[in-house]
Structure 1
Amino acid sequence: MSVSRNKKISEEIKKIVSHIMMFEIKDPRVSKLASVTHVDVTNDLRFATIYISVFDPNHNMETHIDGLNSAKGFIRKEIGKKLKLHYTPEPIFKQDHSVEHGMHINEILGSLDIKHDEPEVDVDAESSEDTVDEEE
């Protein structure tokens, strides 16, 4: 199977699951401030690993994943309706740590004391070169 087809299917699953999380799941464990960051589909289209990130600091990620796992059958059925594939991929929900990792890297970079000043120019050195030229 071509990589571009896999990529297109992954993007479509991402759109479908994002829409389902926002508008169709009524479970209070599933936060409206969650998003699908990316989807990895196996080459045989049997499984789709869906990475989720929640932007609500008061929301527990484990309960969000539990809510999505309880709606897994509904989500798979909706994916199957909209994609019309021979096999409907089994969704596997995982927490995406890339946002937290990026924030951690940003904190580390912010804590460094790096000065971005222009290099200092020695004014005395420039004026002595001028006087040497004038003497000749």
Structure 2
Amino acid sequence: MARRAKRSDPGGHEPSQRQLRAGELVRHALTDIMAREEFRDPALQGVNVTIGEVRTSPDLRHAHVFCSPLGVTDEAAQDELAKALNRASAYIRGRLGKQIEMKFTPQLHFIADHSYDEGAYMDSLFNRPEVKRDLD
């Protein structure tokens, strides 16, 4: 019987419990930082940021942060926010290191979170009369 080689694809498996806990710890701390800090970047001034999810790498040295501006559905504005947060990531990482107790403070990679838009679109599809008729 032939044995299959293990896949070394990092995206091909579920995150461990440790990664999930670390991601939630980082998410809560980032939410607190975003609410309290004043940023010099004009693109970040006065913007309420929603942190939807934080996915950490298996070694916990990198964190992908899914973010969006609160109440803004424009994809260009969401992408611009992610770019601005990536510019300020070193400053945010420094603040994060003071708030969390981890061996390493992860490198932060901000990604625009479009899942809220997709959810609103799916909701509008399910509320169409022809779809409701088929569901009943």
Question: What is the TM-score when the length of structure 1 is the normalising length?
Answer: 0.73
Q: CA deviation at 1:17?
A: 1.1
Q: CA deviation at 1:22?
A: 1.8
Tell me whether 1:28 sits opposite 2:42 in the alignment: yes
1:22/1:32 contact within 8 Å kept: no
CA distance in 2, matches of 1:111, 1:5: 42
Q: CA deviation at 1:78?
A: 1.7
Q: Say which SS state the counterpart of residue 60 (structure 1) adopts.
A: helix
Alignment of 1:14-93 (within 5 A): 14-26=27-39, 27-30=41-44, 32-54=47-69, 55-57=71-73, 60-93=77-110
Q: Which sections of structure 1, spanning at least 5 residues, go unmatched? A: 119-136
2:53/2:65 contact within 8 Å kept: yes
RMSD: 2.4
Q: Which sections of structure 2, spanning at least 5 residues, go unmatched? A: 1-14
Q: CA deviation at 1:92?
A: 0.4
Larger Rg: 1
CA distance in 2, matches of 1:68, 1:57: 18
Amino acid at match of 1:56: V
Once structures 1 and 2 are overlaid, which stretch shifts more, 65-74 or 38-47? Answer: 65-74
Question: What is the TM-score when the length of structure 2 is the normalising length?
Answer: 0.73
Identity %: 23
Number of equivalenced pairs: 116
Matched residue, 1:102: 119
Q: CA deviation at 1:56?
A: 2.5
Tell me whether 1:4 sits opposite 2:17 in the alignment: yes
